[in-house]
């Protein structure tokens, strides 16, 4: 099930966070450009990656100020404020010391945090991170000012409908998967408004941690895909050359997103870095679960809010697709798709009555990825649109 979202104060800002699992060591995920910790669980690949981390850790997620479920801001946030947010979340979760798992833009603040708060940092894990984001002769992989302006214009003009040309370059392996690309565009919109996205994108131009790399003493694991054109593998080599206690691992592939493509080697490196034990690839398969009869009712009750395909629910239940559908009908006397949709709508009805979440938030909370589809489905099922249902019950 999707974890509960909580809030803590960082100065005057409310910072949203989640805690997943109860492993012996803490991992804090430091996201990149924008994030939304609720919508992370609506993408099965990302949900699966994060869940795998909880097998050997307690995972802490949060949305940095200005993004996702945290308070918005119209100003650039400083690196000091970003570090304050991490400290606030660690205090709220009673995390004394943790590994910082960072992605893309989250890498710079993680490296800075390790220098400023070494007593709270077990190590830094960076996937596709960078040292600076402005071209120079000694760092030629960063965008030029002209290239940044082109990107800024794309954000201003295309953010509302998600038709960003750069999205497909982030994840070439899924560039033609319309369902995934629609989720990714929705995720980015849920992570930041057009103004917030533009502010953060412009702010990246001023990030430069090249001067502090040689001062980093904590163990550092750098993970890069060789074909990533968003953050070049050469940037990983640059960082690794300057951090004494670092390990650089280069993977095949082009995706800038760590949870797509072949994730086994990434998760294996992370688990070995944290625990000292490297898992086998066979540990990641579903072959062992198929030897036992898994309780469909328990699996469905605990996972129906996840945006999974029927095929993926079948795997969770340790069955082939045909066997899953047959067993499911014997239990529920309906199809999996109809049951899941009904359960999500019933849960959304409960949230409309008992929570202050808006319609968009309820849509994503209940496993839907498209608000208009959710509203139409609710009206078809209950003969009334969700906003009217909420209003009529409040008036009553």
Q: Is the pLDDT of residue 275 over 70?
A: yes
Determine the angle formed by the axes of helices 79-92 and 106-116, rounding to 10 degrees. 70
Give the pLDDT of residue 164.
58
Question: Which band of pLDDT confidence, cut at 50, 70 and 90, is reported for residue 294?
Answer: low
Which of 369, 375, 361, 365 has the alpha carbon at shortest distance from 309?
369
Question: Which band of pLDDT confidence, cut at 50, 70 and 90, is reported for residue 237?
Answer: very high
Average pLDDT over residues 242-267: 95
Q: Are 248 and 237 in contact (CB under 8 A)?
A: yes
Q: Is the pLDDT of residue 115 over 90?
A: yes
For the residues of 112-132, what is the DSSP string, one character each? HHHHH-GGGEEEEEEES--SB
Secondary structure (3-state) at 197: helix
Rounded CA-CA distance 188/91 in Å is 28
Residues with Cβ within 8 Å of 87's Cβ and at least 6 positions away in sequence, in order, are: 10, 117, 120
Question: Which band of pLDDT confidence, cut at 50, 70 and 90, is reported for residue 161?
Answer: low
CA distances 121 to 12, 173, 218, 239, 372, Å, are: 25, 34, 7, 18, 44
Q: Is the pLDDT of residue 289 over 50?
A: no
Give the pLDDT of residue 281.
84
Question: Which band of pLDDT confidence, cut at 50, 70 and 90, is reported for residue 97?
Answer: very high
Q: Are 190 and 68 in contact (CB under 8 A)?
A: yes
The pTM assigned to this predicted structure is 0.72
Residues forming a β-bridge with 222: 126, 248
Average per-residue pLDDT in the chain? Answer: 88
pLDDT tens readout for residues 25-63: 999 999 988 899 988 988 889 998 999 999 999 999 999
Picking from 174-188, 242-256, 278-292, which range would have the lowest pLDDT averaged per residue?
278-292
Give the pLDDT of residue 292.
39
């Amino acid at each position: 099930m999707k974890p509960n979202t909580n809030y803590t104060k960082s100065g005057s800002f409310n910072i949203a966070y989640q805690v997943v699992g109860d492993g012996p060591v803490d991992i804090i995920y430091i996201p990149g450009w924008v994030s939304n910790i609720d919508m992370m669980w609506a993408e099965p690949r990302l949900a699966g990656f994060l869940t795998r981390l909880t097998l050997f850790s307690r995972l802490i997620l949060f949305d940095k100020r200005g993004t996702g479920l945290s308070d918005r801001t119209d100003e650039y946030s400083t690196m000091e404020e970003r570090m304050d947010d991490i400290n606030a979340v660690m205090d709220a979760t009673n995390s004394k010391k943790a590994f910082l798992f960072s992605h893309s833009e989250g890498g710079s603040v993680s490296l800075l945090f390790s220098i400023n708060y070494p007593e709270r940092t077990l190590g830094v894990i960076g996937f596709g991170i960078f040292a600076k984001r402005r071209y120079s002769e000694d760092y030629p992989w960063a965008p030029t000012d002209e290239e940044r302006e082109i990107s800024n214009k794309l954000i201003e003009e295309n953010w509302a409908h998600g038709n960003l040309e750069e999205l497909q370059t982030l994840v070439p392996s899924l560039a033609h998967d319309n369902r995934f690309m629609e989720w990714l565009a929705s995720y980015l919109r849920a992570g930041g408004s057009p103004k917030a996205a533009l502010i953060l994108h412009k702010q990246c131009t001023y990030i430069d941690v090249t001067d502090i790399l040689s001062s980093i003493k904590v163990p550092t694991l750098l993970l890069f895909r060789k074909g990533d054109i968003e953050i070049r593998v050469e940037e990983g080599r640059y960082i690794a050359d300057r951090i004494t206690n670092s390990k650089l691992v280069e993977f095949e592939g082009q995706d800038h997103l760590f949870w797509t493509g072949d994730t086994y080697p990434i998760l294996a490196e992370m688990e070995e870095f944290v625990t000292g034990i490297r898992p086998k690839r066979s540990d990641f398969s579903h072959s062992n679960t198929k030897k036992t009869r898994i309780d469909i009712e328990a699996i469905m009750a605990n996972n129906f809010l996840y945006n999974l395909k029927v095929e993926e629910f079948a795997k969770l239940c340790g069955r082939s697709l045909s066997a899953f559908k047959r067993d499911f009908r014997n239990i529920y006397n309906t199809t999996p798709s109809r049951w899941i949709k009904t359960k999500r709508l019933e849960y959304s009805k409960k949230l409309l009555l008992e929570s202050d979440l808006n319609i968009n938030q309820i849509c994503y909370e209940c496993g839907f990825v498209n608000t208009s589809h959710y509203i139409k489905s609710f009206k078809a099922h209950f003969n009334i649109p969700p906003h009217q249902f909420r209003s009529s019950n409040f008036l009553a």
